[in-house]
Amino acid sequence: MNALTDSRTRRTTVVAPPPMPSGWFVVARARDLRPGSQTTIRRFGTELVLFRTATGRLALVEATCPHLGAHLGHGGKVVGEHLECPFHGFRFQTDGRCASGGRDTPAPRGARLGSLPLAEREGLVFAWHGAAGEGPTYDLPDLGLADGPRVRLRRAVVDAHPQDTTENSVDLAHFAYVHGYDEVRVVEPLRREGEVLTIAYAATRPTGPFGTPISFTYRVRVTGLGVSQVHVEVDGLATSDLLVLASPVDTGRSEVWLGARVQLARRALPIPGLRTLVDELASSIMASILLNDVHQDARIWSHKRWVHPPRLSAADGPIGPYRAWAGRFYPTPDDGQVASCAEVTPCR
C-alpha cells in the first residue's frame, strides 16, 4: 500500500487504489455466448475462460490447466458438457473438477480449476468475486430490463476502480464542474441498508441546440460496487432508466457496461405508435450521452490517484458516508483503504 504521512498532523493518506472488492460484476452479454462456445476474459486480475455447454450451462473457470499449464482459452474447446484442454485433452466440468485425463484416462487426484459462481440475469452474465474467497453474500437486484422499451447498451474500458464509478453517484460537486449541471441539490438523503445504497438529487442542465435548461431528478440505487441503477425524471416530459455496471479487470482498470431506456410521457407525445419510435431513438441518444459522460470522467480517472482519507469540501456531497459503506466489500475494513464517517469530514 502506498501512503504519505503528514508530519504535522500524523495523518496518513493512502494513494494506492483499493483492492479487488467482493460482489457481483458483469462479465458478458448472454447472447454473445452460444451453446458449445468459449471465450477468454480478464477479470479480477487474472485470465479466465467463460464457456457455455451444449445444453446451455454457463461456467467461468481459471484459464490455466492444472496438468501442464496450457491456456484453456487458446485452442481449448467445449465438448458436450465439458471444457477440453488443447494440450492433452483433459476435460473439466462446469464446477472446475477434472472429469477425465487425456485419452479418457482417469483424472489425476486433485486436478481441478478454480471456478466462480455465475448468474444469468436479464440478458447479462454476472460473476461473483469473493475478495477473501467467500461465496455470494447478497443477491443481484432486478435490473428492470425485461419489461418496457429495449435498453440500449454501450461498453467502455476505463482506467478506474469500480469504486470510482459508484462514488460518482454521490459526488455532487463534479456534476456541475465536469458535466455542466446547475442547481444540484439533494432531495432524498443518502441511505445505507446492507449492500444497497440510495440517494436522490435534482439538477438542471442546458439541453438541445439552444441550451434550454431542463430539470432532472435522479434516483440512484447502488447494489454493491458493480451495479448502479438510476431512475431519471425529465421535467415531466419523460422518464429514463440508466444502468452503470462496472467490472474490475485489473487493479485500477475496469470494463463498464452502460444501459439506457427512455419513455416519453403520454402528454409529451400522445400517439402510441409514434411514441414507441421516439422512445427507441431517445434511448439510443441517452445511451450515447451516458457514454460521453463516462468518457468525460475517464479522462480524469486515468490520471488521478486514490486519495484516502480525502480533504472534502462542504459542496462535495456525502462522499464520507459512501466510503464508509463501501468498506464492507473489501477483505478487511481497517486496511487503510476505507474510513469511517468520522475520518472523512469536510474541511472547514
Give pLDDT tens digits for 9-48.
555 566 677 899 999 999 999 999 999 999 999 999 999 9
pLDDT at 124 over 80: yes
pLDDT category at 335 given cuts 50, 70, 90 is very low
Residues of the chain with CATH 2.102.10.10: 23-129
Residues of the chain with CATH 3.90.380.10: 152-309+315-320
Q: Cα separation of 27 and 255, whole Å?
A: 9
Classify domain 152-309+315-320 at the CATH superfamily level. Answer: Naphthalene 1,2-dioxygenase Alpha Subunit; Chain A, domain 1 (3.90.380.10)
Q: Return the CA Rg of the chain.
A: 23
Lowest mean pLDDT among 5-9, 33-37, 132-136, 246-250: 5-9
Of the candidate CATH numbers 2.102.10.10, 1.10.1740.10, 3.90.470.20, 2.60.120.200, the domain formed by 23-129 belongs to 2.102.10.10
Beta bridge partners, 312, equal 346
Longest dimension (CA), the chain: 73
Average pLDDT, the chain: 86
10 Å CB burial of residue 267 (0-12, 13-18, 19+) is exposed
Dihedral sign, Cα of residue 81, residue 73, residue 124, residue 229:
positive
Cell 460484476 belongs to 25
Name which residue leads in pLDDT, 117 or 293: 117
Select from 143, 213, 152 the least CA-distant residue to 181. Answer: 213
- Across the range 116-126, mean pLDDT stands at 95
Contact 244, 230 (CB under 8 A): yes
- Across the range 288-316, mean pLDDT stands at 86
How far is the first Cα of the chain from the last one, in angstroms, to the nearest whole number? 29
> Which pLDDT score is estimated for 213?
86
CB atoms within 10 A of CB 243: 23
pLDDT category at 236 given cuts 50, 70, 90 is confident
